[in-house]
Structure 1
Amino acid sequence: MTMPVMEPHLDADTLRAWARLIDEGPFSSLCWGERIAFDNPECLTLLGALAAWTDRVRLVTTVVVPQLHDPVMLAKALATADMLSGGRLTVGLGVGGRHEDYRAVGADPATQTMRGMAERVAVMKRIWAGEKVTESVVPVGPPPLQTGGPRLLVGTMGPKTIRSAAAWADGVAGMTLDLDVEKETRLFDVARDAWEQVGRSAPHLATSFWFALGDGDATRRQLHRHLRRYMNWVPAEIVDAMAPSTGWAGTERELLDVLRRFEAIGADEVHLIPTSSNVDQVRRIADAVRDF
């Protein structure tokens, strides 16, 4: 389950309530993403709070953009979070889709490439392995609780990205706009082949989609409102055109049918992305999938 971090008017009480409900189960992971030029909570600050608010669930960034950060500081922050959470951190990484975020922090948009991300991942992995990457007396710490550092997932919607990340990522954090299971099957097959070609064990396979839970047209309108707000860098007429076929809206029983389809193609996880901060949404889904 993804936190409602892209919804308006959030406060600590709402975020804490979501985190604790997710932690109570039956969810395997608690996810949240990063944006800079938006009014969402800063992702690494939130990570510290989530480590304190939860005890069981895995914490998954979907995704952090390493090019927006100094890699040494990012490695230190993530290692600290891994220690504070008891080794429950998984780091989803992506290049990001918005130049405005790069400009907001003074990052070079020319680094918005898989190579730019891989270079920063290499620095972080060296730090997590205890190597010295600066002219310091001792290596940058603390060491992560997980040996070698947190599990890394590559955020992607395409096969080229998957192939380029097979050498360093432990899996895939994908996203489907239209819930096309056949398309996701092909992406998963690309990932399996890419990991096999570089001699690595089978990748962790995850996908995600926006959801609105309920009956009738109100759920689709909820999803449409969210897309208009979140996709504010896309012309409104394009968002309006894609809204009827983007994400999923329906009842609990219909959602279980969708999850079974993704389970059948070998998905290890589906990361559900809410389009409302109403905590009843996560409570209802928890009840529905508890015995899935």
Structure 2
Amino acid sequence: MKADRITFGAAAIPEPDRDWLAAVEELPVESVWQGGHLLPPSATGEAVARLSLLTAWTERVRVGAAVLLLPLYHPVVLAKQLADLDARSGGRVSAGIGVGGEFRHEFEAVGVPLAERGPRTDEAIEVLRTLWRGGAVSHAGKFFSFHDIELRAVAPGMRPGGPPLIVSGRKPPAMRRAARLGDGWLPYLLSPRAYARSVETITAEASKAGRNLDGFEWMAYVYCSVRRDGDRAREDVRGFLGGAYGDKPPEMLDRIAPAGTPEQVAARLQEYVDAGVRHFVISPATHEDTLGVVRLAATEVLPRLSLPAAVSS
């Protein structure tokens, strides 16, 4: 994905749906995303199963997990699953990865100590990349070990080196992980100002590690609602996010979840562009007509956005 232009993706909310995905593929949308938990409090799907549906029910767009809670999965199993999906889809899969922790019982149920989720994630990233290099490989780590094994995808379509691993989160450990180990950065619930700070942190951490960030993907998962009626859009966000994230006041929701008319949302997203975002995953913050939100975002918000002069010149 090129950094010299602004692109949109869409979150398939609440669940992947064949007709919804077909309609989105007709729009100027370049990716579709879904995440998932193992033991969520409501009846929602799991990340790899949802990613499988996205892969099967689309033909053109990039498909991604946003996000997959990596410490809950054995990386050898996951490496095989993602390799097969990437191969079957012709190299369209990306994995947004996070550490989770909001549902402690998920970790207890699979025997993963909550306090280990960070280092397990770091080592799991190493295991995935080792297996995706091809050939017979070995690994001896704190959490995972194997000797002289080879992963083979079901078809030759997996990209060399495997699918991109896009790090998600909001806190400094996630930023450091993105800088050292990730192929991109996909935070959520960040204001434009906070996103700009994250860019500074990741850039500085990468420099410390001697890493060149050429090709690194600067993304943002943005809850929003776009309507002809701006008041309805703002009511969408309050109803969708207000209770879920601790009854945040409207002014805070406005900073992290743009809502309004296409003109109003474009003005807010432009602030993210100026902060460094190049690919938005638009997550409709509404319980009704999510396709309508994505359609307006892709056809009337995206054309209003522009790269900063220093980048576009």
* 1:166 counterpart SS class: helix
* 2:161 counterpart SS class: coil
Q: Check the 8 A contact 1:154/1:172 in 2, yes or no.
A: yes
- Equivalent runs, 1:31-50 vs 2, <5 Å: 31-36=33-38, 37=40, 38-50=42-54
Residue in 2 that maps onto 1:258: 268
Residue in 1 that maps onto 2:22: 20
| TM-score, normalised with respect to structure 2 | 0.79
Unaligned runs of 5+ in 1: 232-238
Structure 1 residue corresponding to 2:258, chosen from 241, 245, 248: 248
Displacement of 1:191 after TM fit? 1.4
Aligned equivalents of 1:107, 1:243: Cα separation in 2: 37
Q: Check the 8 A contact 2:65/2:97 in 1, yes or no.
A: yes
Q: Check the 8 A contact 1:59/1:88 in 2, yes or no.
A: yes
CA gap 1:289/1:69 in 2 versus in 1, 3 angstroms: same
Displacement of 1:220 after TM fit? 2.9
1:67 aligned to 2:80? no
Q: Check the 8 A contact 2:266/2:302 in 1, yes or no.
A: no
Paired letter, 1:218:
R
Aligned equivalents of 1:196, 1:249: Cα separation in 2: 36
1:151 aligned to 2:178? no
Instruction: Identify the range of structure 1 (129-138 vs 278-287) with the bigger mean alpha-carbon deviation.
Output: 129-138
Paired letter, 1:188:
V
Paired letter, 2:187:
G
Aligned equivalents of 1:164, 1:43: Cα separation in 2: 21
RMSD: 2.5
1:271 aligned to 2:281? yes
Q: Check the 8 A contact 1:220/1:244 in 2, yes or no.
A: no
Aligned equivalents of 2:218, 2:193: Cα separation in 1: 15
Q: Which runs of 4+ in 1 moved over 6 A?
A: 134-137
Displacement of 1:52 after TM fit? 2.0
Residue in 2 that maps onto 1:191: 202
Aligned equivalents of 1:182, 1:290: Cα separation in 2: 20
Q: Check the 8 A contact 1:144/1:150 in 2, yes or no.
A: no
Aligned equivalents of 1:70, 1:229: Cα separation in 2: 33
CA gap 1:172/1:190 in 2 versus in 1, 3 angstroms: same
CA gap 1:159/1:104 in 2 versus in 1, 3 angstroms: same
Paired letter, 2:247:
D
Identity fraction in percent: 27
Paired letter, 1:85:
S
Displacement of 1:256 after TM fit? 1.6
| TM-score, normalised with respect to structure 1 | 0.84
Residue in 2 that maps onto 1:161: 174
Displacement of 1:148 after TM fit? 0.9
Residue in 1 that maps onto 2:309: none
Aligned equivalents of 2:149, 2:269: Cα separation in 1: 48
Aligned equivalents of 2:148, 2:206: Cα separation in 1: 37
Aligned equivalents of 2:294, 2:179: Cα separation in 1: 33
Instruction: Identify the range of structure 1 (147-156 vs 97-106) with the bigger mean alpha-carbon deviation.
Output: 97-106
